[in-house]
Amino acid sequence: MTAIGTSSTVAVVGTGTMGQGIAQVALVAGHPVRLYDTASGRAAQAAEEIVRRLDRLVEKGRITADARDAARTRLSPADSLAELADAALVIEAILEQLPAKQELFTALEDIVAADCLLATNTSSLSVTAVAGRLRHPGRCVGLHFFNPAPLLPLVEVISGFATDEAAAALAYDTAAAWGKTPVRCTDTPGFVVNRIARPFYAEALRVYEERVADPATIDAVLRDGTGFRMGPFELTDLIGQDVNEAVTHSVWQAFFQDPKFTPSLAQRRLVESGLHGRKAGRGWFDYSEGAARPEPRTAAPCPAPASVGLHAKLPGPAVVLRELIEEAGIKVTRDRTPGESEGFLRLPGGACLALTNGYPATSNAYGKYIRFDLSLDYRAATRIALAASAAVSEADLAEAVGLFQALGKQVSVIEDVPGMIAARTIAMIIDFAVDAAARGVASPEDIDTAMRLGVNYPGGPMEWAEQLGAQWVWDLLDSMHHQNPGGRYVPSWALRRRADLEEQVL
């Protein structure tokens, strides 16, 4: 490993939250750190704040008082860019405006040494464009830290079109030496995390706009049903609705307004109203003192059926439901419905209970269908969403609710919609990941690492593709596409190739 030595100076330009966090990381790693900001006095204030953070680390026992004192002596504010001349690495964390970043690096090129590495912390702009005006763009690389930088381990190391391999390797090794987990990726809109994570937000917003369920219920289904640490509405409130919407819009524009990345009008209206989330006191939820959080839609207790019929094998991870049902003391018999190839559970009242397949329950020719949503682990899940066809009676639905409640699950009954909530979200994330890997954006291993560490996913989407099978994901998205033409749900050809290869292996 060839990292920048700790005797070499690291300079950080831009002293907001991210700039301070990056400076703290380099400082704790042992480097002399120099801070610069165009606003007079801001760098000195940032240095004082970083020292206060180090004080808190001492109080918590994370670092020693001697380490804190040594770090303090290595930290200094700069009054001009010229004072960064001896830096071996300059990381910018200024406004997400391309002209400003280009102007900064053009000025730095006349100040720093020829072997100084120039890095941008941009989250959505093109690294290639940032370096485009440099005489030597090969030494410019993306180093995208995640907020808060001292705590989150992931760093995306982005190679622009002209980035030298040696520069990217040096940036990667330096991030690793700082105790971070770097991943390599090419210069594509959104890089890894902000590209592949778009469906997590976009599908939730689409479901909300379709009046399928309210934000609290959508969050609960994804959080309690699939293991995401936070639901998309509470997460975007934490990130900032303005920040999340800006990234979505930037990626959409960068992909030439591809319908897969279309922003949400509902989120746009929220941003226009100034309801930016926690920092504003209100976003999708109210964060004012004493405000009650809305509860997710949860079905009242219903009696469990004494027995159910099983027709064929339930698909994917739903296969474990037979075992869970029997463990709950409910008898499972064999259902012999002629002409049906899909695996489903037959309820005592005659309704069929089946995993969502991308079609709404009402579209099934049999009529009495209830769809349940996808979970990656039905044993661990604590909530399941159900959607019933128009032909299903209240008694039929109560049997389905009671069945899942007997398995220890809370149940949210939502409106009948293709793909429901979790299935369409996870399928889209998998498709984005498979497509990104096929296009060489990042390796499958780095994609999974990035999504687990960058946004705390309960697993990697490439692992999910293996677990669910590419054919199942393709079928669900293809079904949704035929009902929602326009391109949003067209599955990628990379997913089709993966499904074909799986079939050949079998």
Supply the residues annotated as catalytic: 123, 144, 156, 194
Q: What is the CA radius of gyration of the chain?
A: 26
**DSSP states along 349-406:** TS-EEEE--SS-GGGSTTS-EEEE---S-TTT--EEEEEE-TT--HHHHHHHHHHHHH
Please classify residue 246 by burial: count the beta carbons closer than 10 Å to its beta carbon, then call 0-12 exposed, 13-18 middle and 19+ buried: middle
Would you list the DSSP string of 74-103?
A: HEEEESSGGGGTTEEEEEE---S-HHHHHH
Helices (H), 84-164: 98-109, 127-130
CA 428 to chain centre: 12
Instruction: Measure the CA–CA gap between 36 and 23, rounded to whole angstroms.
Output: 11
Query: In whole angstroms, what is the distance from residue 450 CA to residue 221 CA?
Result: 23
In one letter, which amino acid is 96?
A: E
- The letter for the amino acid at 10 is V
Instruction: Give, for 118, the enclosing helix (H) or strand (E).
Output: strand 117-120
Which residue in 350, 402, 400 sits closest to 370, CA to CA? 400
**Amino acid identity at 236:** T
* DSSP of 456-483: --SS-HHHHHHHH-HHHHHHHHHHHHHH
Sequence letter at residue 215: P
Using the Cα atoms of residue 173, residue 175, residue 181 and residue 187 in order, give the sign of their dihedral.
negative
- Pairwise CA distance, residues 91 & 25, whole Å: 12
For residues 420 and 59, what is the distance between their CA atoms, to the nearest angstrom? 48
| Closest among 480, 444, 443, 485 to 461, alpha carbons compared | 444
With CA atoms as reference, report the closest residue to 249 among 208, 203, 194, 209. 194
Phi, psi of 295 (to 5 degrees): -90, 145
* Contact in structure between 310 and 332 (CB atoms under 8 Å): yes
> Is-contact 405 301, C-beta < 8 A?
yes
Residues 6+ apart with CB under 8 A from 95: 14
